[in-house]
Structure 1
Amino acid sequence: MSSLLLGAPLFGAVLFIAVFVIDGATRPGYDPRRQPVSALALSSRGWVQTANFLQLGSALIIGASVLIRQALSGVSGSDVPWAGLIWAGGVAVLGLAVVASGLFRMDSMRGYPPGSPAGDPEVLSRRHRRHDQAGSVVFLGLPVVMIGVVVVPGLDTAVRVAAVVAGLATGWLAVRFGERWEQDAGDAGLWQRAHLVLGLPSLGAVVLAVA
């Protein structure tokens, strides 16, 4: 059962990507090149992406919980595997941030849903600000957690190197997305998707490697 649960982050990541790709390609008035994944949580079909956020966040939390339980099993005295526990805690924090992204939707803006203003609202709602805060944790935390796996003992060198490379690339993509989003660029959505497609499955694979 534990091995099955450890695969939850990877499965959840693949499912998350498949859902937002299919939903974004078939959503009337939605432009995946420009619009962020979070905008799919708007309109009458918004429940699909909201559920997608919740399943991914839950999957990450489940995987982290199994890692924490494994790290604590057989621990005696002061021999506590702090590095592994802290890293698994980082995965759990990412999961909680993804759940929060689903619970707090972004505001309608930049032409979506159809009929929305072409630009940003003059005043952002509190819900939107909470969504932005959760998103910042996800987009900046994902590369940090990926790179941070180097402190976890017992990993093959190849896994460490691959995780660091993926983490650095994911971090660069997060910065690039942030720049293009602030510029209201027509390709901002593509940069965000590149970050998610690289980072989320990579994190799921690293969870399996750590176990």
Structure 2
Amino acid sequence: MTEAIERSVDRVTGERALLAGGVLAGPLWVAVALVQALTREGFDPRRHPVSVLSTGDLGWVQISNFVVAGLLCVGAALALRRIPHPGLGPVTGPWLIGQYGVGLVLAGVFVADPLDGFPAGTPRGPGEVSWHGAAHFGAGAVAFTALIAACLVAARRFARRGERGWAVYSGVTGGFFTAAWLALMAGGHPVAMVVFAVAVVAGWGWVSATLRRALREAAG
């Protein structure tokens, strides 16, 4: 009996740790990307997506950033399968958070191509798209689609529970991210680039806030 209780406590503690990792994934990713954006020569958020930080001599920093954040999200998704969440549910939400994490890991594995003067010495203009650059775009699509779907699933579940604030927050985040992503794909205008960067931060904020709620309820 005592051993069973100890195993149960250890399991819950481990799941809380995984959720805590998911909560920290967003702030960590944003902080690392922001420091690079402010310090790496030639990077301009009006012309360059964060993905190009994976290129050049210091590209390993952003590659690691993608992989670590993705693994933390996958770990949180595994914990969500055992810890009920009022918005994400027991199956669909955890699966989508896990898919988001896998997409981030793949975005790190398949490195983006140099672009429009970055890293320093790269010719101006869009440049050629390599096979790994195309795979990077595909990984981004996997991650972004999963994040949007997770937001919308949570919005619907929260609305059914009568939690209007969480429903609106989730729905607006998903809608904003969708609009920003479509605007970016439509042409990469400098305004669209900046708005999409804001949408990425907003998406990470939603992931952290949602997982933090799961962590609080697990602790309670």
TM-score class, shorter-chain normalisation, is 0.7 to 0.9
TM-score (norm 1): 0.84
Partner of 2:36: 23
Q: How many angstroms apart in 2 are the aligned matches of 1:59 and 1:154?
A: 28
The answer as to whether partners of 2:115 and 2:127 remain within 8 angstroms in 1 is yes
SS in structure 2 at match of 1:69? coil
- The equivalent position to 1:208 in structure 2, one of 198, 207, 212, is 212
The answer as to whether partners of 2:82 and 2:90 remain within 8 angstroms in 1 is no
Alignment of 1:79-98 (within 5 A): 83-98=89-104
SS in structure 2 at match of 1:34? coil
Q: Offset of 1:186 from its aligned partner?
A: 3.2
Letter in 1 for 2:132: R
Q: How many angstroms apart in 2 are the aligned matches of 1:160 and 1:37?
A: 29
Letter in 1 for 2:197: R
Alignment of 1:6-45 (within 5 A): 6-45=19-58
Q: How many angstroms apart in 1 are the aligned matches of 2:47 and 2:144?
A: 17
Letter in 2 for 1:129: A
- The equivalent position to 2:69 in structure 1, one of 51, 56, 59, is 56
The answer as to whether partners of 1:155 and 1:209 remain within 8 angstroms in 2 is no
- In the alignment, structure 1 segments of 5+ residues that lack a partner are 72-81
Deviates more, 1:52-61 or 1:112-121: 112-121
- 1:155 to 1:27, Cα distance in 2 relative to 1, 3 A: farther
Divergent runs of 4+, >4 A? 152-155
- The equivalent position to 1:126 in structure 2, one of 122, 131, 143, is 131
2:107 matched to 1:101?
yes
Partner of 1:75: none
SS in structure 1 at match of 2:205? helix
Q: Offset of 1:117 from its aligned partner?
A: 2.3
The answer as to whether partners of 1:159 and 1:209 remain within 8 angstroms in 2 is no
The answer as to whether partners of 1:36 and 1:188 remain within 8 angstroms in 2 is no
Percent sequence identity over aligned pairs: 26
Q: How many angstroms apart in 1 are the aligned matches of 2:204 and 2:151?
A: 10
The answer as to whether partners of 1:100 and 1:131 remain within 8 angstroms in 2 is yes
Deviates more, 1:55-64 or 1:163-172: 163-172
SS in structure 2 at match of 1:84? coil
TM-score (norm 2): 0.81
